[in-house]
Amino acid sequence: MRLGLIILFTSPALLLGELAHAERGEWSAGISSGLVLPALQAQDATSFRVAAFGASIQGRYGLLDDLDLGLTGSWAQFAGQADEVRSLGTEVLGVRVFEAQQFQVGATARYKMLSGYFVAPYVEAGAGFMWVILRNQDFRSIETGQSFGLDVQPEGFGRATATFGVSVDARILNWVFVGAAVRWTEVIGGRLYRRFVSIPVELSVYW
């Protein structure tokens, strides 16, 4: 009786562990969505920082059992503001208000810290390129919030990025993964914001 109970409760765990172990030579494709938190002031006076929605796609290849390489593409949209100095006859410190769309592509490496279990934690690092489009811009007084009436045209700019993070996922039936991550991205030479944090929930299919 006791032996039967041990087999009943340990066999699924052992099976899932074996299923979750081997990843060398595997390919995966996935989607994710969640919070994006740029280091910006919010336009809404009741909010301290900008919190936005983002989405991404990714593909990965298992180089080793504990190491995979991947390509990612992501998108986010948000409204924010940033202090800025402009020359209006004399230099004036004001607030630049804008709506932004952010597109990012990159290459990543992920190292599995614990192998052979149903749930696996990872550390990640990556490098990429980000393109930002700014629309509906205005330049306002810091003291009064009134517009200076400037015609601030839409613009776009690109920057290199470096990303570091941690993630965790759970393997289901040997071919589907669900997980979550926290990633910190530095924007190299960022103009309006120099970093952002993303907190996505992810779904991937392996083969």
pLDDT digits (tens, 9 = 90+) for 103-144: 999 999 999 998 878 899 999 999 999 999 999 999 998 888
Mean pLDDT, the chain, whole residue set: 86
Per-residue pLDDT tens for 55-114?
999 999 999 989 999 999 999 999 999 888 887 777 788 889 999 999 999 999 999 998
Q: Looking only at Cα atoms, what is the longest distance across the chain?
A: 89
Per-residue pLDDT tens for 2-45?
444 444 444 444 444 444 444 789 999 999 999 999 988 888 76
Closest CA to 38 of 106, 108, 101: 101
Q: For strand 27-38 and strand 52-64, is the pairing parallel, antiparallel, or unpaired?
A: antiparallel
The predicted model scores a pTM of 0.82
> Residue 86 and residue 142: Cα distance in Å, rounded?
12
Give the Cβ contact number of residue 187 at 10 Å. Answer: 21
Ramachandran angles phi, psi of 38, nearest 5°: -70, 150
